[in-house]
Structure 1
Amino acid sequence: MSCNEGMAQGAAGCTALDDAYVQSYADLVRFLTGRLRCLATARDIAQEAYLRASQSDVAISDPRAFLFRTAANLASDSRKTSKRHAEILAEASFWLEPEPDRSAEALTLAAEEFTRVSRIIEHLPPRCREVFYLNRFEGLSQSEIATRLGISKTAVEKNVRRALAALGETRIK
């Protein structure tokens, strides 16, 4: 099936990328499902790969290969994010799922610590908070954050250090 056959009538001219997406969709979803082990996520990422590729300013010589490379990168990001979310959940389980044998005092102290940490993060400068969030909660590397935000890697490092220093000061008190 070509782009013109697969798209609604009246669609303004199909590109080589559109044709590659329509013709390779099933293969792309199969490829992503193998990597992600989730059909729904694979379909979402296939669509996201097409959208990203269609918005790219790069000259695309092989649209199918470009779609698959974009999809592979997005799948990798998705796995990293999922892994980081699982790590955060495991780290936060003390606050989220108190064990029955914890004393009332331990639960109160944990709640106070959680509140204190939340307040510190809320009071960080916006850029510092954003960098810290992307690094610690989204699991992005400092290079990825620098690229995403259009800032230097040194600025990312300084903001992460600043956030960690602010959080470290609360443990001393």
Structure 2
Amino acid sequence: MSRFSSSRKAWLVHYHELVKTWTRRSSNSFDGEDVAHDAIAGMLEQEGARISNPKAYLHRSAANSLIQRQKREQPALTIPLQDLTEQDHPTVSGAEEAAYCGQLSEALLAALDELPPVCQQVFSYHRLEGWTVPEIASHLGLSVSSVEKYLTRSMRHLQLKLQQFSS
């Protein structure tokens, strides 16, 4: 029997139970199915590894995936600048720091201009406005997965373009 067929049987035996359990535990049925499929895909990608307890592996992997999804969907705690008191506003003390901030701002704007408009919108809503991924998806009429991909693409692009400013 090939390794693929034994791996396939290992997850296939637990498939319906896994989907049922994680659909019940998640906020909606689609999240439950997604985490179940992600767990199965992760198990099948473990080419050389022997998984001694496929059921436990699948359930633990699904639980971890669901936790990560829920963390991503929680809004980041941000306070708009206009709500800060005057002494809490960020300040720049010298000319060198002011020049550095100016260069960083220009580089950020240039890097954002290189992105497609939808990536710019997703980045702005998420990082500047503090919206959650589901809120952005609903507002733009996109799937949550698409918004996550646009956000990831934006962050990778900005990280690459702004490397020179990291300390």
Name the TM tier (shorter chain).
Answer: 0.3 to 0.5
- Of the two structures, which has the highest relative contact order with CA contacts closer than 8 Å and spacing of 6 or more? 2
TM-score normalized by the length of structure 2: 0.44
TM-score normalized by the length of structure 1: 0.43
